[in-house]
């Protein structure tokens, strides 16, 4: 679990989100409060903790304005298990589509993965030592200690001379240990035994069996089968990677991992339900057709969001204190089209603003993971120095905003298509025609030359941009 000092205040959370997401201050403030409320609940009197439920959030805004990114970044800041689902993938249980409980199972899986990774980091030093000994044994097998023959006297004139084959073997091993630690033998091949996961090869299915039952039976069959080992000849670098994973897994207690993961999922888990507007049924439609299925999805989601227990292969998870963030564009429907019970479970409503031309410019320039910085890093790998003039960024923002206005508004995602079309020629020519140490500076004239023609030709821009 996180240390006390690691929990950020709402203002600090917003500052962290600002590093990656431009604008949307209302949404950031609300998710920051929701996250800090978790810390407050855990420090409330114990008799009140169970009664304090999270204020789930409904984000309303067009595609590409940052709804998913806010939720994803929030989970990273909180070091919390996070899973994203599309509400449109669910239908009434028993028909086609995914079972709504699968999102809680996905959250459990994510939580176990996080806790397991943290535990492996804790035992990494011990595992590294064990792996080093295994590789050393494969390179220079140790000699068994044998008693010296009767009447044998070690020479005393030179202390540096090995007195036996055993000592010579030890000294050789130590020299190779030094070489291993210095990375001098990474490419050398070595033969190691690798554990293979026991795979029953048996598919389990039957009438009335749900996904959970099938997983449990397959895991049980796999656990009954003996573990197999296989010899492989690999480089020492590869052997270290494979063996480190194996030995770390042996050193951690999986029962402890599962218990901690369930606690983490229950108290810190975040489930992001996207496209919630797609299952909102329009009022007065006569109660037939697809609206029946949409309302069915909402009624299936309701108990999970309200708080219920869900069986997972790691144990039972209670969703009372899981934070649910739902999002949708609500172009056709509106939040009031959701069933009243579900509306009541998302008391915080946040409307995200459509992105302006200036927002596009800031998105290209400010975030730590800005698209321009990503392309600069890609070409830096080829030792090519890519840079963008400020006027070029403003021109790119102007073009992206114009296309959104004329073709279809897909928000900041439009920047990806525009940047890709602008830079594809350079990405293709490096390194064959543009060699190492070259400098490429993107100017506003270059942007206009490559993109203006496409923007003006509306038929073409619909397909290419």
111's tokens: 């939580």
What are the pLDDT digits (tens) for 281-301?
765 444 555 566 778 888 889
Burial class of 243 by CB neighbour count within 10 A (0 to 12, 13 to 18, 19+): buried
344 Cβ neighbours under 8 A, 6+ residues apart: none
Q: Which residue stretches of 252-289 are H helix?
A: 254-268
Pair 212, 312: CB distance under 8 Å: yes
Say if residues 28 and 18 touch (Cβ distance below 8 Å): yes
Structure token pair of residue 185: 């033998």
**Whether the Cβ atoms of residue 130 and residue 110 lie closer than 8 Å to each other:** no
What number of other Cβ atoms are within 10 A of residue 395's Cβ? Answer: 22
Give the DSSP H/E element, type plus range, for residue 135: helix 124-139
Quick one: which of 262, 218, 281 has its CA closest to 91?
A: 281
Angle between helices 10-18 and 67-78 (to 10 degrees): 120
Q: What spatial distance separates the first Cα and last Cα of the chain, rounded to whole Å?
A: 45
The sign of the torsion formed by the CA atoms of 196, 202, 255, 122 equals positive
- Residues 111, 304: Cα–Cα separation, whole Å: 18
Reading the block at residue 29, the tokens are 């403030």
Cα 13 from Cα 22, distance rounded (Å): 14
Distance between CA atoms of residues 227 and 107, nearest Å: 29
Residues 82 and 175 in one domain: no
Burial of 99 (0-12, 13-18, 19+ CB in 10 A): middle
Say if 334 falls within a structural domain.
Answer: yes
User: Is 125 within a domain?
Assistant: no
Residues 6 or more apart whose CB falls under 8 angstroms from that of 116 comprise: 252, 257, 261
- Parts of the chain with a pLDDT under 50: 1, 4-5, 95, 200, 208, 284-286
Which token pair is 166?
A: 């055993």
pLDDT the model gives residue 4: 44
Answer yes or no: do 372 and 455 share one domain: yes
| Same domain flag for 383 and 418 | yes
Same-domain status, 70 and 141? no
Same-domain status, 386 and 316: no
10 within some domain: yes
Same domain, 139 and 238: yes
Q: Are residues 233 and 284 in the same domain?
A: no
Angle between helix 165-181 and 124-139 (nearest 10): 130
Structural domain range at position 407? 357-464
Q: Final residue of a domain: which of 199, 224, 251?
A: 251
Confirm whether 374 is domain-assigned.
Answer: yes
Within a 10 A sphere around the Cβ of 334, how many other Cβ atoms?
14
Residues constituting the chain: 465
Report the CATH number that the domain containing residue 338 is assigned in CATH: 3.40.50.300
The tokens for 281 are 């049924």
Whole-number pLDDT of residue 309: 92
CA-to-CA dists, residue 105 to 27, 83, 161, 258, 314, angstroms: 27, 10, 63, 13, 9
Question: Residue 217 falls within a domain, yes or no?
Answer: yes
Instruction: Name the burial class of residue 361, with classes exposed (0-12), middle (13-18) and buried (19+) by CB atoms within 10 angstroms of its CB.
Output: buried
User: pLDDT, tens digit, for every residue of 87-118?
Assistant: 888 765 554 556 888 999 999 999 999 999 99
Domain total of the chain: 3
User: Structure tokens of 326?
Assistant: 């739902």
Tokens of 409: 């508004």
Q: Is residue 186, in this structure, part of any structural domain at all?
A: yes
Q: 32 and 137 share a domain?
A: no
Judge if 29 and 92 occupy the same domain: yes
Beta bridge partners of 325: 57, 272
Q: Are 72 and 362 in contact (CB under 8 A)?
A: no
Q: Which residue among 351, 380, 396 closes a domain? A: 351
Last residue of one domain, picked from the residues 351, 380, 402: 351
Q: Express the helix, strand and coil content of the chain in percent, nearest 5 each.
A: 55, 15, 35
pTM above 0.85, yes or no: no
Residue 134 sits in the same domain as residue 91: no
Buried b (16+ CB within 10 A) or exposed e, 11-44: eebbebbeebbbbbeebbbbbbbbbbbbbebeee
Q: Please check whether residue 362 lies inside any domain of the structure.
A: yes
- The pLDDT value recorded for residue 200 is 46
| Cα 194 to Cα 210: distance, rounded to the nearest angstrom | 34
Q: Looking at the domain assignment, is residue 444 inside a domain?
A: yes
Residues 6+ apart with CB under 8 A from 15: none
What is the SS3 assignment for 138? helix
Residues 262 and 246 placed together within one structural domain of the fold = no
Whether 241 and 319 map to the same domain: the answer is no
């Amino acid at each position: 679990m996180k240390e006390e000092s690691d929990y950020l205040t709402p203002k600090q959370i917003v500052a962290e989100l600002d590093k990656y997401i431009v604008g949307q201050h209302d949404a950031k403030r609300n998710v920051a409060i929701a996250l800090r409320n978790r810390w407050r609940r855990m420090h409330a009197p114990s008799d009140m903790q169970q009664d304090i439920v999270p204020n789930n959030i409904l984000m309303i805004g067009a595609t590409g304005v940052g709804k998913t990114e806010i939720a994803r970044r929030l989970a990273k800041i909180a070091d919390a298990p996070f899973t994203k689902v599309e509400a449109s993938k669910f239908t009434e249980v028993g028909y086609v589509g995914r079972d709504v409980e699968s999102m809680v199972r996905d959250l459990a899986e994510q939580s176990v993965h996080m806790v397991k990774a943290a535990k492996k980091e804790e035992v990494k030093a011990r595992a590294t030592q064990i792996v080093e000994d295994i590789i050393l044994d494969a390179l220079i097998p140790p000699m068994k200690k044998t008693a010296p023959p009767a009447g044998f006297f070690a020479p005393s004139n030179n202390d540096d001379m090995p007195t036996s084959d055993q000592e010579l073997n030890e000294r050789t091993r130590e020299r190779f240990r030094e070489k291993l630690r210095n990375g001098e033998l990474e490419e050398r091949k070595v033969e190691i035994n690798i554990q293979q996961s026991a795979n029953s090869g048996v598919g389990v299915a039957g009438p009335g069996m749900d996904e959970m039952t099938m997983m449990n039976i397959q895991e049980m069959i796999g656990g009954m089968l003996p573990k197999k080992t296989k010899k492989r000849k690999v480089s020492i670098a590869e052997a270290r990677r494979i063996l480190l994973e194996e030995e770390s897994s042996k050193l951690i207690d999986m029962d402890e991992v599962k218990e901690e993961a369930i606690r983490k999922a229950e108290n810190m888990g975040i489930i992001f339900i996207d496209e919630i507007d797609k299952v909102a049924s329009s009022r007065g439609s006569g109660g037939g057709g697809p609206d029946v299925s949409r309302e069915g999805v909402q009624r299936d989601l309701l108990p999970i969001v309200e708080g219920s227990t869900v069986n997972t292969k790691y144990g039972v998870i209670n969703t009372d204190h899981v934070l649910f963030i739902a999002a949708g564009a609500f172009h056709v429907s509106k939040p009031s089209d959701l069933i009243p019970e579900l509306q009541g479970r998302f008391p915080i409503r946040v409307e995200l603003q459509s992105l302006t031309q200036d927002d596009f410019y800031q998105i290209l320039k400010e975030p730590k993971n800005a698209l321009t910085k990503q392309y600069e890093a890609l070409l830096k790998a080829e030792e090519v120095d890519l840079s963008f003039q400020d006027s070029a960024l403003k021109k790119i923002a102007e073009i992206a905003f114009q296309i959104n206005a004329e073709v279809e508004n897909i928000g900041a995602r439009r920047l990806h298509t525009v940047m890709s079309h602008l830079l594809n020629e350079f990405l293709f020519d490096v390194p064959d025609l543009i060699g190492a140490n070259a400098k490429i500076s993107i100017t506003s004239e270059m942007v206009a030359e490559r993109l203006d023609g496409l923007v003006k030709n509306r038929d073409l821009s619909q397909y290419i941009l």
